[in-house]
Amino acid sequence: LRLCDGLPRLRYTGNMEVFRQVMRECCVQEGFRVVEWSVQHNHIHMVCEAEGKDALTRGMRVINIRLAKRWNKLWRRQGPVFEEPYHVVELKTPTQVRHALVYVLQNASKHGVWRADELDPFSTARVFGGWRDREAEPCEEECPRAEARTWLLREGWKRARGGRPRVTEQPRRHSLRP
C-alpha cells in the first residue's frame, strides 16, 4: 500500500497507533489473514493469506478504508490516502515466500532507516519466530498479526535455500517481482 504524495510520514507514534489498532481489528477476517507487515515512511508491506481473490479483495478493502478514515481524521484532512488500492504478488514457492518474508521484515534496513542488525519496531519482525539467530519476543499488542495457516507460510519457506534468515540478512533486489 503506497500513500499519496504529500501526506505525513507513517513511522511516527500517532500514525502507528492508528495502524496497530486497525491491524488488531482486521488482521483476521473470514478467509483472510495478515501474517507479517512492515510500515515504512510512505508505504506498507504485508504478507497475507487469502482463500481466493474475493477474500483478498474484501480483506484489503476493509483495511484500506479503516486506515484512510482514521488517518484522515488524525491528520484533519479529507481525500484519498492511498495511490491505488494495493499491489499484489502471489507467492507460489518456498523460495518466493522466504524472499518475501525477508523483504517485508527487513525493509527498513533496505531503505536505510533502521539498523540491519536490529529488529524494526515498525514491523512484526520482533514477533517473527523464524529467525535463525533470534527468539521471537512477546509483543502482540504492538505487533498484531495472524498465525499462518498455509503450509508455505508455516513450514514450506524454511525448506528454501538459505533456510531461516539471520537478523542481519538484507532483502534481495527485486525479490518480490512476479
pTM for the whole thing?
Answer: 0.92
Can you give the pLDDT at residue 138? 79
Can you give the pLDDT at residue 141? 77
State yes or no: pLDDT of 28 exceeds 60.
yes
To the nearest whole number, what is the mean pLDDT of the chain?
Answer: 92
Q: In what order do the strands lie in the sheet with 28-29?
A: 28-29, 32-39, 44-50
* Reported confidence tier of residue 63, pLDDT bands at 50, 70, 90: very high
